[in-house]
Amino acid sequence: MRVGFIGLGNMGAPMATNLVKAGHEVTGFDVAGVQIDGVRSAASAAEAARDQDVVITMLPSGSILQSVYGEIVPAARKGACLIDCSTVDVESARAAHAAAEAAGLLSVDAPVSGGVGGAAAGTLTFMAGGTDEAFAVAQPLFEIMGKKAVHCGAAGAGQAAKICNNMILGISMIGVCEAFVLADKLGLSRQSVFDVVSTSSGSCWSMNTYCPAPGIGPQSPADNEYRPGFAAELMLKDLKLSQAAAEGVDAATPMGERATELYEAFVAEGGKGRDFSAMIEALAGQSRR
């Protein structure tokens, strides 16, 4: 396929690289002027979108997404498929779908889970919203860039699923961090906590795969001085999106609300630029009152 790729940051660059390795012809654009081996550089988002079969976007916010769609929708050829892999609010995703549909374009909102490591390894999970026809066009590319793609429903459903997933992640990571801090003060070894919890009812991804305690379990950012696999400020962004969505539909999410408050404080007090699992150090430095 001829693919335009807009947004070649920490996630977009390896995703575009994997498409090139699979034999697709990729034209890229990034406002920072990023150059990727094998990716032809365009001078603008509109140029990257012109005459492509598929245009993929990986952008930082809903407002930027809508602005970029204002450029690429008029430039894209009729019948092309626009795939947005950004994590944004549901309403922005639906607005992007509407703009594409009005111009005779297919569209999919397809945020990802798996972080920078998953983008590089081609093991991302895609949560997709859109028509069956659009998902069918996008699926072969999802299979290159990831290990799983789930068609969650109509326009905006991918973003809704991502918001729910990452709310769980934020809450569960805080729970795991709290458990290690409590265990430390009760005199338990961290290894014994991991060995028990990872095979018991407290088992979860935040413990088993992404343990926040260094030297325990599989390699994680905790073993690299909490250099981010998933930065704390990105977790905060996703938690804020979850709470905006919950407010919009009158859903009770008290744990999501509290997790948002804790990550907001963590980012403001030195957590920015660190992995979200570094929350364990913030909690370890606090007393109960």
Residue 115: predicted pLDDT: 86
Q: Are residues 57 and 41 in the same domain?
A: yes
Residues 174 and 133 in one domain: no
The mean pLDDT value for 217-230 works out to 95
Number of folded domains that form the chain: 2
Give the pLDDT confidence score for residue 17 in this predicted structure: 98
What average pLDDT score do residues 244-262 get?
Answer: 97
pTM: 0.92
Q: Which one of 78, 148, 162, 237 is the catalytic residue?
A: 162
Residues 15 and 138 in one domain: yes
Range of the domain at 126: 2-154
Are 106 and 178 found together in one domain? no
Domain boundary among 132, 154, 176: 154
Q: Is 162 a catalytic residue?
A: yes
pLDDT averaged over the chain? 97
In tens, the pLDDT along 115-160 reads 888 999 999 999 999 999 999 999 999 999 999 999 999 999 999 9
The predicted pLDDT at position 80 comes to: 98
Look at residues 154, 188, 219 and tell me which one is the last residue of a structural domain: 154
Confidence class for position 78, pLDDT limits 50, 70, 90: very high
Instruction: Read off the pLDDT of residues 37-76 as tens digits, 9 standing for 90 and up.
Output: 999 999 999 999 999 999 999 999 999 999 999 999 999 9
Question: Which of 110, 125, 154 lies at the terminal end of a domain, its last residue?
Answer: 154
Query: What's the pLDDT at 289?
Result: 75
Predicted confidence at residue 232, as pLDDT, reads: 97
| The predicted structure's pLDDT at residue 255 | 98
Kindly write down the DSSP assignment for every residue of the chain, as one continuous string: -EEEEE--STTHHHHHHHHHHTT-EEEEE-TT----TT-EE-SSHHHHHTT-SEEEE--S-HHHHHHHHHHHHHHSPTT-EEEE-----HHHHHHHHHHHHHTT-EEEE--EESHHHHHHHT-EEEEEEE-HHHHHHHHHHHHHHEEEEEEEESTTHHHHHHHHHHHHHHHHHHHHHHHHHHHHHHT--HHHHHHHHTTSTT--HHHHTS-SSTTSSS--GGGGTT--SSBHHHHHHHHHHHHHHHHHHT---HHHHHHHHHHHHHIIIIITTSBGGGHHHHHHT----
Q: How many CB atoms lie within 10 A of CB 143?
A: 14
pLDDT value of residue 72:
98
User: Over the stretch 95-119, which tens digit does the pLDDT of each residue have?
Assistant: 999 999 999 999 999 999 988 889 9
Question: End-to-end distance of the chain based on CA atoms, in angstroms?
Answer: 59
149 and 8 both lie in a single domain = yes
- Which domain CATH number covers 190? 1.10.1040.10
pLDDT of residue 123: 97
Mean pLDDT of 166-173: 98
Query: pLDDT tier at 256 (50, 70, 90 boundaries)?
Result: very high
Res. 288 pLDDT band, cuts 50 70 90: confident
Tell me what pLDDT residue 29 has: 98
